[in-house]
Amino acid sequence: MEIILLQDVDKVGDRHSIVTVKDGYGRNFLIPKGLAIVANDGNRRRLAEVIKQEDAKESKMLDTYKVMANQLSGQTLKIGAKAGTSGKIFGSVTNVQIAAAIKEQIGLDIPRKKIVLNDEIKELGEYTATIALHKEVNGTVKFEVIAE
């Protein structure tokens, strides 16, 4: 069964992509939850129009994303975490904490899903995270994990 995804679905595909899934998964899960619609001719034409409109909006926002990436690149965030005497922190630092630190310290509201960490952060120290603002614009932010 071919469907058009209305939202990003893990291990299936990205928003506005046409994918083939098993009939039961599409009919019983994706379509009732509002995550997808059937990929018939009318919906394909509507999808093409929606993609065209969103690309126009995104191209207008491209300059804004570039400014945001420049603001992030020169900054070093401080993120507090509880740590033991050896420098290992209890738990790990996640993209949620980084998004909160960006909002608090820089004043930019960046969704946590756009923040990509290369590996788990389980010790005190300096790290770098990549922020995928747009297909063409990626920013990097440096942050330091310090003991609270």
Torsion of CA 46, 28, 1, 47, to 10 degrees: 10
Residues 142 and 71 in one domain: yes
User: What's the CATH code of the domain at 71?
Assistant: 3.10.430.100
Query: Given the DSSP bridges, would you call strands 138-147 and 76-81 parallel, antiparallel or unpaired?
Result: parallel
Number of C-beta neighbours around residue 35 at 10 A = 17
Domain count, the chain: 2
Please report how many Cα atoms fall inside a 13 Å half-sphere around the Cα of residue 110, on the Cβ side.
Answer: 35
Residues 72 and 140 in one domain: yes
pLDDT tens per residue, range 8-28 = 888 999 899 999 999 999 999
Residues 92 and 56 in one domain: no
**Domain span including residue 136:** 66-147
pLDDT tens per residue, range 28-45 = 999 999 999 999 999 999
Which regions of the chain are under pLDDT 50? none
Residues 56 and 70 in one domain: no
Look up the pTM and report it: 0.66
Task: Classify the C-alpha dihedral 16-19-21-23 as positive or negative.
Answer: positive
